[in-house]
Amino acid sequence: MQGMRETARRYAVIDVGSNSIRLVIFDRLSRGLSVMFNEKVLCGLGSDLEVTGRLTQKAVDQALANLSRFTELTRAMDVESVDAVATAAVRDAADGRLFVKRVAQECALKLRILSGEEECKYTALGVLASVPRADGLVGDLGGGSLELVRISGNEISDGFTLPLGPLRLVARDAGKRGDLITDIERVLENVTQSQIPSGEIFYLVGGNWRSLARLHMAQTDYPLRVVHCYTVGYEEIYEFVDLISKQSPTSLIGVSSIAERRLKLLPVGATVLLALLRRFRPREVIFSGTGLREGLAYAKLGAHERARDPLISVCQDLAHRVARFPSHGDELAAWIGSIFPSESPRERRLRHAACLLSDIAWRVHPDYRAEYALMEALWLQAAINHTGRIFLGLAIMHRYSSKKIPKLATQVKHLLDPNALCQARAVGLAARVGETLCGGVPGLLSSFNLVRHEDRLTLEHQPKDSRMIGHVVRARFRALAKHLSLKASIEVIGS
């Protein structure tokens, strides 16, 4: 019955864009917004829009066939609610309304055409869903349009929808880059710098720009290949997109694993970003893995659910699925918290998340638990930046092994400063002590106290609990104290 209740809460978004259509099914409508299914088809509905004013017929046929498939999949997966939306191509095409009618008739799907203002709003909400308290400019480059909107905390300013999608620009420019730059800058004159100040963070959304991020990672040999929250400074990203904007699509084939069809529009997307960088001069860009689709889901959450921490929500959900004793993680976080009196709110959040995931690898062969835990954290589908991922991964890795260091850990750890590395190891070793002491069973840790003094670390217990302090517990407690440069002391209290 529990499985049926969870299944009934599934939610899906079908996104009909100018270049691609996509089905995303969320496991349930919660703050974590975990995606359980994601399928994209590059149709190119808006490929001929700039020339003919109509949707491309071959693409329409392909879209209708795949939208029928999407409808069947949502039924088979017992999705409770579906939002099907269309953006620039369908919005602007002379036959857009006819396409919507055909979708209803042939696919049994109600397709809603979003206005430019709605597209800006939902894209901004999508960024806020995964980057809480984000502050800066959001740009979403789709195949047919560019949306720009400012966000600050939970406030969303009025946005701009501009005809700068790569599909549209390719048709307009016919390969003349000089004219393309002029066209882009002319359109951007509608967005004044007083409306969007320079020096802000620029959050980049959309498949074209995500491909740019992947290409940049490949070119710089960046070890953590996760697009979400990949951050690049202004000068570095400017130099890179300037280079890519000058390349032909064929010159990029084989450079990375990006699909050839996506590569064809990459130099145009780079040119749009180059013009935006010149005009607004952000201090850095942050690539976002979330946007319109996540924004639609986030908009459906109540105030209480929105107020939850998205990372903690994801980790709690995962613990309930995979841990032997799901409620133990919160207890463990509270129990080891006393030995970290000077931690920042960010460190406290990561420690809590690490404890929630402290039992994530119990089904894995003992020789590979540390590596498995590290990989799970690094590639976790969650609202967390890259340094946070690495901190979390290393902490859980040390929870499973204090000595064996996987190769992957040596590749990513240099992205953390020495203090963060030390803190991650301390969190992992402390969680290791707690897990060993109680076997992961909820309630047992309440009989013990972990106390940090100026010169020593003390494990306190009642006389009746002496039998729980075994050889392995003592060894792991000494390892924790040594890492903290403290003396280890196990004391009986209340005798």
pLDDT per residue as tens digits for the range 384-428: 999 999 999 999 999 998 777 889 999 999 999 999 999 999 999
Say what the pLDDT of residue 3 is. 39
pTM (predicted TM-score) = 0.91
Say what the pLDDT of residue 250 is. 78
CATH 3.90.79.10 fits 117-293, yes or no: no
Query: What is the C-alpha to C-alpha distance for residues 72 and 61, in angstroms, rounded to an integer?
Result: 17
Query: What is the C-alpha to C-alpha distance for residues 451 and 444, in angstroms, rounded to an integer?
Result: 17
CB 347: neighbour CB atoms within 10 A? Answer: 18
Which one of 3.40.640.10, 3.20.20.140, 3.30.420.40, 3.30.70.20 gives the CATH number of domain 11-114?
3.30.420.40
User: What confidence tens digit (pLDDT) does each residue in 30-82 have?
Assistant: 999 999 999 999 999 999 998 899 999 999 999 999 999 999 999 999 999 99
DSSP letter (8 states) at residue 450: E
Strands 11-16 and 81-86: parallel
Q: Topology of domain 309-492, per CATH?
A: Hypothetical protein af1432 (1.10.3210)
Task: Give residues with Cβ within 8 angstroms of 309, minimum separation 6.
Answer: 31, 132, 349
73: Cα separation from own chain's centroid? 24
Say what the pLDDT of residue 403 is. 79
Per-residue pLDDT for 255 more than 80?
A: no
DSSP letter (8 states) at residue 248: -
Determine contact, residues 10/28, Cβ cutoff 8 Å.
Answer: yes
For residue 25 the two structure tokens come to 């099914």
From 40, 49, 44, select the one nearest 59 (Cα to Cα): 44
